[in-house]
Copies of this chain bind each other. A is one copy, B any other.
Amino acid sequence: MLSKELLAYLQTNRRRHLGELLEILKFPSISSQSQRNAESLACAEHLAEVVRKLGFDVKLHPWRTHPILIARRDCRRPDAPTVLLYGHYDVQPVDPLNLWDSPPFEPAVRDNSVYARGASDDKGQMYCQIKAIEALLAVEGDLPVNVVLLAEGEEEIGSPDVEQFLTANAGLLQAQCALISDSSFFAPGLPAITYGLRGLGYLELTVEGPKADLHSGMHGGAVVNPLNGLAKLLAGMHDAQGRVAIEGFYDDVLPLEERERQNWRGLPFDEKRYAEELGVELAGGEKGLDVLVRRWARPTLECNGIVGGYQGEGSKTVIPAKATAKISMRLVNNQRPEKIVQCFQEHVRKNTPPGLRASVAVSSMARPVMISLDSPYMRAAQGALEEAFGTKPALVREGASVPITELFQRVLKLEPLLMGFGLPDDGLHSPNEHFHLEQYYGGIVAIAAALKNIGQLSR
């Protein structure tokens, strides 16, 4: 249990904690856009300075494009366990910009929420960790555990090569468990511990035809249009049942355990309300499965964008020389992205319309993750969430990928704990992303409580 002094400190410092979050939200640290590289670096340096002021030994490690922050501060207790706290300072692109009610990098507080790109994913959640540490140090003069902070700058582009980074820096990152704050509550008022994540294979499928763009009047009818050909290829990737029609795609998908299905049916989730909130009919994905099963326990294939031809205002009568689809596949259970990408390539090889040439470039891959529900760290995290929010957390899976989670297990041999503070309607990756202030303040309490709980365990 947290002390009254600590809770009072957090209450008193809310306004300052909010102001400090707004500062880091001003950096347009969009990792996928190279013209933002300088601003991403400035964001990392700002973060390093914030952590340095807490007495941490901080270093920005240069990596592929954006540096990775590692910071450490040990507590005075010699046999204390070490907790790695993970977040990321990079954010998604902001387009379509015209749908934002306030500029994405001019954070605005309204309706008891902070609106900005990265407010929830993940700067706001990362700041829950940092402010919890600040409060523990301010009130108690020490931390209950040794703390390693790890903040990545390329999570939104699939954490390329981060496995190599973790391997090379494993010595700096030794810990017993990792608190990852980059996920959501199941619903307002109902915190969640995420014990399963889907994996990811993200690739670009390029279809090439003529060597240059052609006038569609002069040459239309005589050449195969790469955009039409790409559409045909994409259309053939799902069958009439909504299943992915790529040979071998489902080979390593295990059937869902009945226990898990029943558990999810007990969650306060209404398919009809979910559809209303998104503004859709519920016709997506595989027929005959519960929505939560489709989102958490089944793999998918989605087109995320098509580049080619004319995309500006008005019209242009062009047959493009080539067209590229950005495609993401979410993976579950024993699916391995390497194998799925191979199946995809083989499908493309067999189904490319005559007259066109197709190629596949892999952008990023991440394996799916499952985490044990039986460890003492898991119990510490559950207790902390209940203490902070007054409710036992739901035990859920998540459809999205947090690629580093699986690497923490496999490379660093530590127990990952996905303890996130977003809400389902935060608008991640969308216009008007926001983070509820109560989630921010509650998240700080929860992290402080988790560190205290873990501090009571022996290493």
A residues adjacent to B (C-beta < 8 A): 31-34, 92-93, 95-96, 99, 156-158, 198, 200, 202, 209-225, 227-228, 230-232, 234-238, 274, 278-286, 291, 294-295, 298, 300, 302-320, 323, 326, 328, 330, 353-355, 363-364, 398-401, 424, 427-432
Residue of B nearest to A314 (CB): B32
Knowing A32-B315, A221-B284 touch, does A212 contact B99 (C-beta < 8 A)?
Answer: yes
Find A302's partner among B157, B235, B319 (CB 8 Å cutoff). B319
Q: Give the Cβ gap from A18 to chain B, nearest Cβ, in Å.
A: 25
A428 & B218 in contact (Cβ 8 Å cutoff): yes
A317 & B304 in contact (Cβ 8 Å cutoff): yes
CA distance A274 to B234 in the complex (A): 29
Chain B residues, Cβ within 8 Å of A213 = 96, 429-431
Find A200's partner among B96, B217, B279 (CB 8 Å cutoff). B217
CA distance A428 to B318 in the complex (A): 10
A223 & B305 in contact (Cβ 8 Å cutoff): no
Chain B residues, Cβ within 8 Å of A398 = 217-218
B280 & A33 in contact (Cβ 8 Å cutoff): no
A227 & B306 in contact (Cβ 8 Å cutoff): yes
CA distance A285 to B96 in the complex (A): 35
CA distance A428 to B319 in the complex (A): 12
Chain B residues, Cβ within 8 Å of A158 = 315
Q: Give the Cβ gap from A435 to chain B, nearest Cβ, in Å.
A: 15
A313 & B34 in contact (Cβ 8 Å cutoff): yes
Most chain B beta carbons < 10 A, residue from A198, A221, A355, A432: A221
Most chain B beta carbons < 10 A, residue from A198, A285, A305, A311: A305
10 A-B pairs in the complex with CB atoms less than 8 angstroms apart: A211-B279, A214-B278, A220-B328, A221-B294, A222-B291, A227-B302, A280-B355, A304-B309, A305-B310, A306-B306
Q: Give the Cβ gap from A260 to chain B, nearest Cβ, in Å.
A: 16
CA distance A343 to B10 in the complex (A): 65
Chain B residues, Cβ within 8 Å of A355 = 280-284
Most chain B beta carbons < 10 A, residue from A219, A230, A310: A219
Find A202's partner among B156, B315, B319 (CB 8 Å cutoff). B315
Find A285's partner among B221, B302, B330 (CB 8 Å cutoff). B221
CA distance A31 to B317 in the complex (A): 13
Knowing A216-B304, A315-B202 touch, does A310 contact B225 (C-beta < 8 A)?
Answer: no
Chain B residues, Cβ within 8 Å of A317 = 200, 202, 302, 304, 328, 400, 429
Chain B residues, Cβ within 8 Å of A215 = 400, 428-430
Chain B residues, Cβ within 8 Å of A315 = 32, 157-158, 202, 304, 326, 328, 363-364
A92 & B316 in contact (Cβ 8 Å cutoff): yes
Chain B residues, Cβ within 8 Å of A291 = 222
B278 & A318 in contact (Cβ 8 Å cutoff): no
CA distance A238 to B220 in the complex (A): 14
CA distance A314 to B286 in the complex (A): 29
CA distance A446 to B375 in the complex (A): 89
Residue of B nearest to A422 (CB): B218
Chain B residues, Cβ within 8 Å of A219 = 278, 295, 399
CA distance A219 to B429 in the complex (A): 12
Knowing A305-B311, A429-B316 touch, does A224 contact B326 (C-beta < 8 A)?
Answer: no
Chain B residues, Cβ within 8 Å of A305 = 227, 308-311, 316, 318, 320
A220 & B314 in contact (Cβ 8 Å cutoff): no
